[in-house]
Amino acid sequence: MKRALIILAFALFALGTTAGNGASIDFDLYGSLKLDGAYDQNLTSHGNFVMWVDPQQFEDNDEQYNMTANESRFGIMLTGNEYENAEVNGKIEFDLYAGSSSGAVAENEPMLLLRHAYFSVQMGGTKIIAGQTYDMISPLNPSTLNYPVLWGCGNIGYRRPQISLWQSFGSGENTDMTIAGGFFRTIGSDLTPTFTLAAGESADGTDDGTDAGIPSFQGMFDVKHNFSSGSSARFGISGLWGTLKSETNLGGSENYDSWAINGHMSFAFPNGYGFMGEIYTGSNLQSYLGGILNNSSIEGVNSTGGWASAWMQASNRVKLSAGFGMDTVDKEDIGTGRSKNQSIFGNVNYTLVENVILGAELSYWDTEYVNIDESTDSYDNLRLQTSMILNF
């Protein structure tokens, strides 16, 4: 690890000194140190953070307490200088949540997780992005102290390798419109085809997204408008489509799809408050953190969800946020597993001194499960999380 960091430092130094033809690239370190402590009334999906409530193993509450610094993150912003007719930028960013759910990594020995590694080139209103960064779909996130921003609870989209093209238009002095589209890495499971297998035939052991031989497509239409009063609004639609291929070790195959349609909107007002939200519907969205992360299927796991939140800057030091989210799955598509997940949250962030934030968040979670006998069980959890954050 030390050797890799030294090599990275020398590479960035060389990059920052020259980029050819007089152009250069500056780099700036940024990040945050964050300590989270959380009490849960019952057992949850991941402990350090929550995406759903696990079935209770005991009649009484299965109380949990977790403390972690894994959401601490650091990154490097790259900014190009003296490029003719172009803006060149980039970012590489990590946190410490790799391997957090495997149980094989000690809590005090976390592993680096790559969040972003991309660059962009912009000429006028046209921009191209290459590398790993956020999905294009569902571009908004609620303000939560909990690490997942309502993932698995109405908010879909994650990060993945991509090449995307963005075109912005200024239709008026106060209105900007963006149309974007791109090709994205398809990440799936290794499903077994639904047809009858021959003797010795099984799934081929390769990700079905890779087996498809083509990337997925995502697109977005987005409008931002600034009112003369000082208020602003943003709204748009986005979507994705991808094909996956289930193959066997004897060459048999069967194609299936992953798709989603999404809507987003946000409003901000000059006196320090606003609200935002998103809705979606789609199928086979496990790798996009939808469908309550049930395994995809060749027939399709259809799901619908959404979230909404509001925020208020109560004073120079205090910011308040609250919201809810819900994800539902067609029960007939899963047989057994999570069929509904919902959450309500509220938090307060207090700026102790410049760059130092103290936060507290109270959230309620409820997860429904469909059982083998088609009955439904529901498990709930009350979570209190506190956070201390130093931004740099």
Which pLDDT belongs to residue 234?
Answer: 98
Count: domains in the chain: 1
Which pLDDT belongs to residue 15?
Answer: 47
- Which amino acid is it at 137? I
Which pLDDT belongs to residue 105?
Answer: 79
pTM of the model: 0.91
Between CA 135 and CA 276, with CA 35 as vertex, the angle to 5 degrees is 40
In sequence order, what are the beta bridge partners of 131? 118, 162
Rounded Cα distance between 80 and 88, Å, is 5
Question: SS3 of 15, please?
Answer: helix
Which pLDDT belongs to residue 172?
Answer: 66
Q: Which domain holds residue 281?
A: 2-391
Are 49 and 69 a contacting pair, CB within 8 Å?
A: no
- Which amino acid is it at 392? F
Which pLDDT belongs to residue 18?
Answer: 46
Query: What b-and-e string marks burial along 235-250, b requiring 16 or more CB atoms within 10 Å of the CB?
Result: ebebbbebbbbbbbee
Which pLDDT belongs to residue 22?
Answer: 80
Which pLDDT belongs to residue 372?
Answer: 74
Rounded Cα distance between 343 and 121, Å, is 39
Which pLDDT belongs to residue 73?
Answer: 97
CATH of the domain at 66: 2.40.160.10
Which pLDDT belongs to residue 21?
Answer: 64
Question: In angstroms, what is the C-alpha Rg of the chain?
Answer: 23
Which pLDDT belongs to residue 107?
Answer: 86
Q: Chunked in runs of 10, what are the mean pLDDT values of the chain (392 residues)?
A: 47 48 90 98 95 85 94 97 94 91 76 97 97 98 98 98 96 88 97 93 94 97 95 98 96 96 98 97 98 97 98 98 98 94 98 98 97 86 98 98
Which pLDDT belongs to residue 100?
Answer: 63
Distance (Å) of CA 53 to CA 301, 328, 381: 20, 14, 7
Which pLDDT belongs to residue 103?
Answer: 60
